[in-house]
Structure 1
């Protein structure tokens, strides 16, 4: 028995402990792989080539790279840095930014948890294909793949009637879904997947850090094999030419390609789901967070760009061309197009087993990363610490498995599609937009008020928010040009009014902003919170040879990333009104994701109501001391360094005397 226990401890070791007693990854590679495992999933192998195919041509990479560097990477740096500095999951991290932002952290957890409850049933469909791949010939050979997927894999029943609109746009009738039974095989594979997911995380990062070498490393090897197979197929060159050998300048004039590129990079990276912050909380306190974020983000893009050669080889092999008007989606690529090509290949069962096993492993890393978000939330609380981790993880996994049975029914595909559509289009974009705003406007805002007063700060900040809402609204009722004009005009007017309402700060702004009273006021309301968050986090993560967060990070996130996210968020509402308002399942999906709105608002208005999910010794972190221009680390110690003064342009006589609270 002792020998068995030793073997089990070897296979599932306890996690290392950091100085503050928190579990910690054994090394940096484990964290990077776990974070990449959350990002690199089905979207890399299936969604990315689908989006590129629908917008075929090398010109797609222009908006794609802009989205990567101006939206995805700044937010990735934010989420990883917060987890590293504040040593907690999304709720604790955002509470530490400001006590009124803990609802934002809860909403991040909500996003990740909702996704994992339908993500696992999706993996169950993959496993149904996987089981059938051991037959020769493949059972779907010679069949219509769309019909096979609907009848044999998903096994959903068509609605008895489809809803419709009245001429005035109101709902005339609602779609009637009659199939409600739970599908045995789908539920069985879902429960199996939940068990495997639980095995990967129930012991903490000590075990997960070892599992990730297999669940992340093996799929990368298998992707290389699939690329070799895809690109060696007859006529594969025609598909690859669509991918990397075509240039269409006119495509850049269409908003479709820009929306598709920004949507893809955003969904692919995976910010807003909480696993980056959760995994980063198990790193060393002085980890090189900025470098890690760049490694993860760029590696994620490299993997999906390279892996797409496999799919485009299959596209060329099947003779499919986007000029025919056929569009692709994740489901079409993974469950219809690729299986059709597999059935026609020599050695079809081998390649089918390899393909679906690769998909399962890619999905598994994302699944246990998403499950970890909820587990970390509970383990961070005072009451969660009293329970063993395995018990918390088991409870969360069992409850999640029961919820996921909704998607294992005869209407499961529609339910998955509804929730997936609006958790991504509404909840995710709104939450991450709030992350940009909270990090660059709410952090240490009392310092701003101390210097310039509430009137100027609120006028500028609210004007900035209203300008985005107003501009987008007018763009829909008039034109994008008019909307942009009104939005910018309102912002400039509110900014000017806010600056006029500010009193002259006692501490002038740095560099040329400090040479003029009005410029100094403007700097305090426009740039101080984000600039101070940058400096405060660099105290922890910028030590030694670690990379510092650059000075331009916060302005990009506030004035570029945020407005872009607001625009993309606005696309979801016309879609619901025009196409889904008569479908009860889509009404459910659209409604449930809006829980993030009251959560964020209520926690901002009454933050003390949510203190029960914050460790008692860290509640004070939500209220930063009023010490303008002083750096504060997460132990509430005020620090000052000459190197920081030189880097950020502060003069010694501008600072309040350094002291320890």
Structure 2
């Protein structure tokens, strides 16, 4: 006996297999489609492999046990990411609609799932566009020697870029072959160069040295689960739209496995490249710190020039400190700790715009390396942004927000123009704090909530047996026991546990953000400051509204449906009464 919730009218809302084949033939000239399988796969790779794979995964890997972090990452990749990825591929290909159309076809009460995905794509796309603008500023200023950020402070800078992009043109163009493949070429170049730099192996050792105790830390698993959602792009709606342009009999099961392997390996690959550069930067700063201290000691104690070197610095310092502690206390001797330097600013925008740029300035031919690095980031960002636009424009079309006669370019242009006006928020002096706020909350709880509802919708409302038959029709065989178990039990349970623990930990901790405060004790390091009370309203709008879109939309639909039934029933009773009085 299998649990399937009542879903009247489902067979009327979805095409049968004969109609599906006929529709594919009839829509061949009207509906967009992929030129070939490679274009589709590369588009999905470009969408999934975004900026987070380069600047978020390495930080999580290092801060949650190094090599030990790969254990929960691979487990959740297989048990959580891959099943949900196939589910989105298959349901989009089967129903041939965008995120709103797919869930509305399964049940009108589930339209909120598509709306939630649209809101997440919009919110993430807002600050993603800002990140790309920052990347372009750095890219355009890389064509000079020396690089302008070799000295501080920088000249006043601003960005005024707006990109009106058409995802349809992107699908029809060859841009995907550049934006998806070029980052791998650049990463390979940086890996080869990074391994030749002093300190590269130190960085890799710091990254991959396993700390098994971290596996007992619930935060490790929470961050891993959120990263899998973020890295795979599930819950955003873009992958459902992409798969809807596939042939009916495309092997979506194979696509899901390929994309899962590529995403997982790319994250590890990017982390390896990142920490060769971070190791070089930390070693350079450590050597500079030691050299400054040696010069200070030589001058203070009037010692011969070669009496203290890097190799005997610790022994010499300990000897002088024990024999003349008062003199040492009065000197400006810096604390030189390689482990601290390796941990400095290795997350998010700090990694891309501070750590990496600083490391590049110390490399021979720094302008060329800077150009390569920011071209890679631009490709990663723009390919993900195309998917975000797809995840917004298609649902708006399904919701009939735009006139039906409008071409896709017009719909996309209007959407991007509105988003551009809203994203001017990030161009203020406080823009970096708004970007961090959006990044922390817009893509965390909402994605977990959407993923959970998607699993429940397909397994228990659409029906897992019907879904299995759909897959057999599309790929030629039913899904194996692995897919059955993960869809029915393991994946929903993992998502639910992660979501509950995430909310519990967030409620218990004080929410803070990092600021540059010259009056702080830790300056020039960032200081942690509590959020003002009014910011919790913004956090609710970012995380709460998309998460509640599903139950709120379902409740409103149910209320509206009951109200409509009551009106119809009242009119019917009134007509009967009138007929009776007439007779």
Name the TM tier (shorter chain): 0.7 to 0.9
Residue in structure 2 matched with residue 550 of structure 1 by the alignment = 483
Q: Establish whether residue 358 from structure 1 lines up as the match of residue 324 from structure 2.
A: no
Match of 1:428 among 426, 444, 447: 447
CA radius of gyration, larger in? 2
Residue in structure 2 matched with residue 590 of structure 1 by the alignment = 540
Q: Does the 8 Å CA contact 2:345/2:355 hold for their aligned counterparts? A: no
Compute the displacement of 1:353 (Å). 0.9
Two-structure CA RMSD over aligned residues (Å): 2.8
Q: Establish whether residue 311 from structure 1 lines up as the match of residue 274 from structure 2.
A: yes
Q: Check 1:413–1:575 CA distance in 2 against 1; reply closer, same or farther (3 A cut).
A: farther
Match of 1:538 among 448, 471, 475: 471
Compute the displacement of 1:238 (Å). 0.9
Match of 1:265 among 228, 245, 259: 228
Compute the displacement of 1:609 (Å). 8.9
Compute the displacement of 1:350 (Å). 0.6
Q: Check 1:390–1:562 CA distance in 2 against 1; reply closer, same or farther (3 A cut).
A: same
Distance in 2 (alpha carbons) for counterparts of 1:375 and 1:608:
26
Q: Does the 8 Å CA contact 1:17/1:23 hold for their aligned counterparts? A: no
Residue in structure 2 matched with residue 367 of structure 1 by the alignment = 385
Q: Which deviations, in whole Å up to 9, do the C-alpha atoms of 1:177-233 show, x marking residues without a partner?
A: xxxxxxxx32x13x1xx23xx1x52536323xx221111122221121122222221
Compute the displacement of 1:370 (Å). 0.4
Q: Check 1:435–1:546 CA distance in 2 against 1; reply closer, same or farther (3 A cut).
A: closer
Residue in structure 2 matched with residue 348 of structure 1 by the alignment = 366
Q: Which has the higher contact order (CA 8 A, sep 6+)?
A: 2
Match of 1:332 among 324, 341, 350: 350
3-state SS in 2 of match to 1:268: helix
Residue in structure 1 matched with residue 171 of structure 2 by the alignment = 205
Q: Check 1:392–1:540 CA distance in 2 against 1; reply closer, same or farther (3 A cut).
A: farther
Residue in structure 2 matched with residue 567 of structure 1 by the alignment = 501
Residue in structure 2 matched with residue 239 of structure 1 by the alignment = 203
Q: Does the 8 Å CA contact 1:240/1:313 hold for their aligned counterparts? A: yes
Unaligned 5+ runs, structure 1 = 1-15, 154-184, 444-528, 612-661
Q: Which deviations, in whole Å up to 9, do the C-alpha atoms of 1:472-531 show, x marking residues without a partner?
A: xxxxxxxxxxxxxxxxxxxxxxxxxxxxxxxxxxxxxxxxxxxxxxxxxxxxxxxxx4x3
Unaligned 5+ runs, structure 2 = 1-24, 284-337, 514-529, 562-583
3-state SS in 2 of match to 1:282: coil
Q: Check 1:532–1:98 CA distance in 2 against 1; reply closer, same or farther (3 A cut).
A: farther
Match of 1:229 among 193, 200, 221: 193
Distance in 2 (alpha carbons) for counterparts of 1:218 and 1:270:
20
Q: Does the 8 Å CA contact 1:54/1:328 hold for their aligned counterparts? A: no
Q: Does the 8 Å CA contact 2:469/2:478 hold for their aligned counterparts? A: no
Compute the displacement of 1:129 (Å). 1.4
User: Residues 449-488 of structure 1: matches in 2 within 5 Å?
Assistant: none
Q: Does the 8 Å CA contact 1:287/1:541 hold for their aligned counterparts? A: yes
Q: Which deviations, in whole Å up to 9, do the C-alpha atoms of 1:230-260 show, x marking residues without a partner?
A: 222112111112233x232223232333233
Q: Does the 8 Å CA contact 2:222/2:498 hold for their aligned counterparts? A: no
Q: Check 1:224–1:601 CA distance in 2 against 1; reply closer, same or farther (3 A cut).
A: same
Distance in 2 (alpha carbons) for counterparts of 1:213 and 1:70:
30
Residue in structure 1 matched with residue 216 of structure 2 by the alignment = 253
Q: Which deviations, in whole Å up to 9, do the C-alpha atoms of 1:633-656 show, x marking residues without a partner?
A: xxxxxxxxxxxxxxxxxxxxxxxx
Compute the displacement of 1:300 (Å). 1.2
Residue correspondences, number: 465
3-state SS in 1 of match to 2:57: helix
Residue in structure 1 matched with residue 242 of structure 2 by the alignment = 279
Residue in structure 1 matched with residue 552 of structure 2 by the alignment = 602
Distance in 2 (alpha carbons) for counterparts of 1:17 and 1:410:
53
Q: Check 1:126–1:577 CA distance in 2 against 1; reply closer, same or farther (3 A cut).
A: closer
Deviates further, 361-370 or 564-573? 564-573
TM (norm. structure 2) is 0.74
